[in-house]
Structures are given as structure tokens and as C-alpha cells.
Amino acid sequence: MTKPARKPQVPNFSSGPCAKRPGYDVAQLDLRALGRSHRSRLGKELLGACSTETARILGLPAGYRVGVVPASDTGAVEMALWSLLGPRGVDMLAWESFGSGWIKDVVQQLKLPNVTRHEADYGQLPDLRKVNFANDVVFTWNGTTSGVRVPDGDWIPQERAGLTICDATSAIFAMDMPWHKLDVVTWSWQKVLGGEGGHGMLILGPRAVERLESYVPPWPLPKIFRLTSGGKLMEDIFAGSPINTPSMLCVADYLDALAWCERVGGVPGTIARSQANLKLVEDFVATHPWIHFLAQTPATRSNTSVCLTLDLPADQVKALARLLEMEGVAYDIAAYKDAPPGLRIWCGATVEKTDLEALMPWLEWGYGQVKG
């Protein structure tokens, strides 16, 4: 195959931090709060907007709270696990590295005695019918390192005794979320909206708040994990006063991303952009027999972290990823280190379809080059 002439205008296909929104310019950010205290009236106003605008754009039900928390999605998940788990058994779901990490934390760190594990290999989902919702349930919505997502929320009952705790970091703003069936949801800015890293977001539904105010964990909680004071939820966290000092530059960046989300049609618009990107990759895979989706069932294919395997030895797959980076057409698309050898192409809303269209011929060309 002849070497393609057209290159993606933005070759950033990393699965985190992800591509900035189209037309992004740091000079367009509202930088009034730089050099100011996050506890100033302006700082609280902007941080509060991170919560209220997120809730409004996502269409969260009444009574659901949104807060900015430390340490990205990891910090948000750990806050939930350490603060909420204990009074019931726990069903843990894992089909890739991050879900497996949450199991390790619950079993080895919290040392909870009544843990049921539902696990599957990369490319598959565990049997969702076996999940016991009399227990608390911890799961990822979209497996960022496997490209496998839960297909919908139909497997979660509306009436349940336990809490549902959902790590949705590469799903929020790209997939429909059944909010009434989710008691805790976590994510981070650097994924679907292309924000900056280091800050987590935590959504608490009323059932989670009730648990926090009626249950005290038997283990010590570090300050950055504490969500209650005197037996009551620390409401300030969800109203512009986070536990620790945030980056006001990152706050400005996130508010810019939310405004862009609205300009492209809100959550339906960002979902549509991600779906269109996935469809383009699906069409390419369907006509090239040497490349395959790691997700074995079409309904479970991620429309953000699209993971692919190739009919090549592992060293040649890595060589392909390096070659495309050297050509300046695709950065950071090698599979996650613990995943099967392959490619992982971010197809979230901030990636332009035209850039993916330009990338596909380079995949074919690069495959021919490394295969020899």
C-alpha cells in the first residue's frame, strides 16, 4: 500500500489525558481566579459552578450531589469504598485492570469478609445475572483498558437493598447512564471532555448520603477521604469548597469543556460524536480481516476506549504503535500494559471524526510495514 498523504490534524488518541476539545485555546479560558484563593468568593463561585453545571448538563435527579474531590477518579472511587463499604456484603465486578484494582483494595486493604467476586478475562463481561443486589455492588461502567462496557442498566434493579458504586470515568458524557439506579458515580475531567488531570468528581445519590449519615466505618479515614462531620454530610464539598486545594487553572479548563459540551448539543451531542467515531472504526474493522475488537460482543464495545487486536506478534504490534507515533499520525495508542497486545484508540467526543478518517489508512499502511 502506498504511504498515505493525509494526516490527522490532531493525532492525540490517548485514553487519558485525552484530546482537548476542537478549537481549544488556553487563552480563551476564564482565568480570573488564577493567583486567587479557592476560598475567595470568586473561587467558590467557579468551583460551585463545576458542581451545578455538571448536574444540570447531565440531568441528574433531584437530591443528587456533585463534588470536586482529590486525586482524579482513583481518589473519588477510594473515597466511596473507604467511606461506604462495611455494613453489607459486597459484590465486586472486574473485567480489566481498574476493576481488579478495586477488588484488591476491598479484599487486601479494607479486609472485608463477605466479598463475592465476578470476574472475566479481557474482552468479556462477567455474568451480570449473578450479581446480588442485597449486597453493595462495585463496578466500572466502561473498562478503559479492555474496551468492554456494560451494555445498559437493565441488569440493575430499581429496588435494591445495597448501594451501587460505579466507576464511570471513561463513560460519563459518552454513554447513557441510568441515574436512579446508581447511588455513587465517579469520574475525572481528563476523559470524555478532555479536561486536565488530578481532580476527581463524585456524585452521591440520596441512598448513599443516608448510608454516610448512618454508618461509621471501623477503620481510620484519612482527611481527604472524609465526607461527614458530626454524623452529617459535609455539604460544603458539594457547594464549591473541596477538601483540599484544587488547581484553579484546571477548574477554568473544566468549565470551558462543559460550555463546549453544551455547544455541541449537551450529553446527547457528545454521545452522538463518540458513537459516530466508533462506527467509523467498526466499518474499518469489518473490511480488514487482520484487525479485531477486543470486546467479543458488539453490544459491549466501548465507544470511547476502543481496544483492538491484530494478527501480529506482540513485538510487531508495539512496532506498529511506535511507527505511527514517529510518523506523527497517532500518539499513545499502544494497548494498556496489562491488556493483551493491541491498539487502544480513544474515540471520545473531543476527537474529530475527520482525524479518525485520516488515521485509518495509516493503520493499514503501518500493518503492511511491520508485517513485511
Per-residue model confidence as pLDDT tens digits over 4-31: 999 999 999 999 999 999 999 999 999 9
C-alpha 90/C-alpha 204 separation (Å) is 18
| Phi, psi torsion values for 167, nearest 5 degrees | -85, 105
Mean pLDDT of the chain: 97
Angle at 124 between CA 144 and CA 163, to 5 degrees: 70
Helix (H, G, I), strand (E, B) or coil at 167: strand
Residue whose entry in the numeric block shows the C-alpha cell 454521545:
271
Per-residue model confidence as pLDDT tens digits over 168-187: 999 999 999 999 999 999 99
C-alpha 165/C-alpha 72 separation (Å) is 16
| Phi, psi torsion values for 365, nearest 5 degrees | -60, -45
Q: Which pLDDT does position 313 carry in this prediction?
A: 98
Angle at 304 between CA 303 and CA 310, to 5 degrees: 80
What does the pLDDT average to over 306-316?
Answer: 98
Per-residue model confidence as pLDDT tens digits over 137-174: 999 999 999 999 999 999 999 999 999 999 999 999 99
Q: Which pLDDT does position 329 carry in this prediction?
A: 98
Per-residue model confidence as pLDDT tens digits over 323-347: 999 999 999 999 999 999 999 999 9
**What is the bridge-based pairing of β-strands 232-233 and 291-293?**
unpaired
Q: Which pLDDT does position 17 carry in this prediction?
A: 97
Instruction: Give 82's Cβ-side CA count (13 Å radius).
Output: 19
What does the pLDDT average to over 97-126?
Answer: 97
Global pTM value: 0.98
Q: Which pLDDT does position 1 carry in this prediction?
A: 86
Q: Which residues pair with 117 in a beta bridge?
A: 92
Supply the DSSP string of 81-133, one letter for each residue. Answer: HHHH-SSS-EEEEESSHHHHHHHHIIIIIS--S-EEEEE--TT----GGG--T
Task: Report residue 372's pLDDT band, with 50, 70 and 90 as the boundaries.
Answer: confident
Per-residue model confidence as pLDDT tens digits over 234-293: 999 999 999 999 999 999 999 999 999 999 999 999 999 999 999 999 999 999 999 999
C-alpha 221/C-alpha 78 separation (Å) is 11
Sign of the four-CA dihedral 250, 253, 257, 258:
positive
CB 162 within 8 A of CB 88: yes
Per-residue model confidence as pLDDT tens digits over 194-220: 999 999 999 999 999 999 999 999 999
Contacts of 261 (CB under 8 A, 6+ apart): 57, 173, 193, 267, 269, 270, 349
Share of the chain above pLDDT 90, in %: 99
**What is the bridge-based pairing of β-strands 305-310 and 291-293?**
antiparallel
CB 34 within 8 A of CB 250: no
